């Protein structure tokens, strides 16, 4: 539960920092779409993070196989939705470094997902393989 609260505090701090700085700029359709994508992504990240509960860790380890909620359809919703967050942010804040960050984050998330999958398969075996067959990424 402490990690969930910490995640929420970091999210709110980021919104408080970025919001006032960029809200005064003209609201083009690209910026509106970026805001919708980013805010929706943040909401989904929080939901996925909450659904992980104590199974969440920064380093890949296998304490429990979470297969409910968002995890019933997508094995790595935080990784996927995190990429959408950066995409939306790059649309909202026209900065080249955000696009560069997205280009760097995507392969990193793929590598992390593969490492995590190997650990989960080694720990949970057939249960994880059945779960993997029923879900995406």
Rounded (5°) CA angle 126-131-134? 130
| Per-residue pLDDT tens digits for 8-39 | 676 677 767 776 777 788 899 999 999 999 99
| Per-residue pLDDT tens digits for 105-121 | 999 999 999 999 999 99
Q: What percent of the chain has pLDDT over 70?
A: 85
Convert 15-37 into a string of H (helix), E (strand) and C (coil): HHHHHHHHCCCCCCHHHHHHHHH
CB atoms within 10 A of CB 34: 20
pTM of the model: 0.81
- CATH number of the structural domain 2-10+17-55+64-134: 1.20.120.1630
């Amino acid at each position: 539960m402490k990690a969930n609260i910490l995640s929420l505090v970091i999210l709110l701090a980021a919104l408080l920092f970025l919001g006032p700085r960029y809200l005064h700029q003209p609201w083009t359709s690209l910026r509106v779409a970026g805001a919708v994508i980013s805010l929706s992504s943040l909401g989904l990240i929080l939901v996925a993070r909450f659904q992980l509960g104590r199974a969440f860790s920064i380093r890949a380890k296998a304490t429990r196989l979470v297969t409910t909620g968002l995890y019933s359809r997508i094995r790595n919703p935080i990784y996927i939705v995190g990429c959408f967050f950066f995409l939306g942010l790059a649309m909202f804040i026209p900065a080249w470094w955000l696009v560069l960050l997205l280009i760097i984050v995507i392969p990193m998330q793929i590598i992390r997902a593969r490492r995590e999958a190997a650990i989960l398969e080694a720990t949970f075996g057939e249960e994880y393989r059945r779960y993997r067959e029923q879900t995406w990424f």
